[in-house]
Amino acid sequence: MASLTPKNSTNGEWCKTRIVILGGGFGGVSTAAHLERLFRRRPDVEIVLVSRDNFIVLTPLLFEVCSGTLDARHCTLPIRAYLRTTRFVEATVHDIDLDRKVVRLSDGKDRSELSYDQLVLAMGARTNRGMIPGSEHAFTFKTVADALLLRNHIIERFERADAERDPDRKRRQLTFVIIGGGLVGVELFGELTAFADQIAPLYQSVDRNEVRFVLLQGGDRLMPEIDPRLADYGTEVLRQRTGADIRTGAKVRAIEPGAVHLPDETIEAQTIVLAAGVATEPVVAALPIQKDRRGRVTVDGTMRCPSRPDVWAIGDCATIPSPSGDPYPTLAQHAMREARVLARNIFDVLDGRPPRPFVYTTLGMMGSLGHNKGFGQLIKVRVRGRLAWFVRRTYYLLQMPGWARRLRIVIDWTFALLFRPDIVKIGLDSEAVAVLREQSQTGEDSTAVIPEVDRRKQDERPSEAIGNDNQARSPVNDPASSAQQ
């Protein structure tokens, strides 16, 4: 049994056994919840969860945040409200000293250290920006902020296109490229094409036929993660959308502001989204432990790090072997199941029992295509169309803990069924920044210091509005500039 150990011999203070979980996503928060339950009568054990945001995101609902179907907060859950006895620390993990058993944290201003007895790595993954040169010019789609930035940027493109008289510039404003034809890229494509159908009538000078969506997939079919028949169904549905241009075998060579370079073609677009592959968090990548070629921590079947028995890893940042030897897929449903076994293993190990391996069969996969259509495989049954869309929605609704959040989601969904989507684009500029920008635009105060991103924003205005046709001055598709929109 984990004992109260006198760790501080100078003052004889009794310290608890501390389990530190890094990352407040599906894996981390579920692990904390299971540990709470297992250790509920054990005051000698302290559970600490560290994450950079104080909420967990239900990622399958993120697409609907982008289209405005769901309010951004409604696809999230505050970690503090979900967990009871875990100590939550909102901070960024800077690095981990495995020899000293210490995690270094930063809250933006100050640095601090947190010691651990058992460490759980659950930091997920981030979009791989190292694969395609110029990836920094593309939007990513992983976080709530990503979804909001992209939403604002897309609405801004429609606003600009509506005022644009130059056909080339207008075409660029209304071309949206998604790189990556996996599940995330496909679901985003489906949601955005449906969103465009619904909002285009609000713009008098934008014809929906002028809006073009390009999906670029390097492999020979979309959604290689799912059953080929379902992937074909999804591809066929999306191909029929107005302005859809879906390409397989399309290997992107490079991205630059406003352009995607293929081997024999350049696609000009003001919106480029990168949804092609993930990479491990730098903190995890820097750890001197065994990792696979994608940088994920290699653990044994019990999710324990072979060279560091006090370190465990779970979810997207880990590679966990299944009984067949193949690693489990990196999915939310797996991360949540892994969490239950991992918590039990830590409990057993602290009690002197051996840990058990994680064994799980994927229940199925589901995806949404927008316009109330979806697809899914549930164990062996394939579903498609409206039924799949309904099953998927119901499933994720029930995955959201707590009836208050569920009710909010249902209200959002009901409104979305009855009314046209909202095109409100709330800027994140403070009033002071907005005033400075206006002064600089009118020449009132040429010395006004405006953040760089705001200067770029001025250059993006349509030619007619600023009486300037100088396309060369129009840096586009810079996610940073959208932050101010």
Residues interacting with ligand FAD, by CB under 6 A?
23-28, 50-53, 59-60, 62, 92-93, 122-124, 141-142, 184, 281, 283, 315-317, 330-333, 335
**Comparison of 186 and 259: residue with beta carbon closer to ligand FAD:** 186
Nearer to ligand FAD, 107 or 136 (CB): 107
**Nearest distance from C-beta of residue 273 to ligand FAD, angstroms:** 11
Closest distance between ligand FAD and the C-beta of residue 262, in Å?
24
Quote the least distance from Cβ 401 to ligand FAD, whole Å: 15
Rounded CA separation 174/158 (Å)? 7
What are the φ/ψ torsions at residue 40 (nearest 5 degrees)?
Answer: -65, -25
* Least Å from the CB of residue 220 to ligand FAD: 23
Q: Nearer to ligand FAD by C-beta: 169 or 296?
A: 296
Residues 6+ apart with CB under 8 A from 467: none
Q: How far is the CB of 264 from ligand FAD (least distance, A)?
A: 30
Q: How far is the CB of 125 from ligand FAD (least distance, A)?
A: 7
Of the candidates 221, 215, 208, 15, the residue with the CA atom closest to the CA atom of residue 114: 15
Of 127 and 173, nearer to ligand FAD (C-beta) is 127
Give me 237's structure tokens: 């549905």
Nearer to ligand FAD, 316 or 412 (CB): 316
The residue whose Cβ lies closest to ligand FAD is 25
Closest CB 120 distance from ligand FAD, rounded Å: 10
Return the number of the residue (218 or 277) whose C-beta is nearest ligand FAD. Answer: 277
Q: How far is the CB of 188 from ligand FAD (least distance, A)?
A: 7
Strand partners, 312: 120, 304
Q: Give 31 or 440: the residue with its C-beta nearer to ligand FAD.
A: 31
Rg over alpha carbons for the chain, rounded to the nearest Å, is 24
* Residue 137 CB, nearest approach to ligand FAD (Å): 20
Would you say 141 or 233 has its CB closer to ligand FAD?
141
Please identify, using beta-carbon distances, which residue of 169 and 337 lies nearer to ligand FAD.
337
CB nearer to ligand FAD: pick between 72 and 262 = 72
CB of 392 vs ligand FAD, minimal distance in Å: 8
**Contact between residue 470 and residue 461 where contact means Cβ atoms under 8 Å apart:** no
Length of the chain: 485
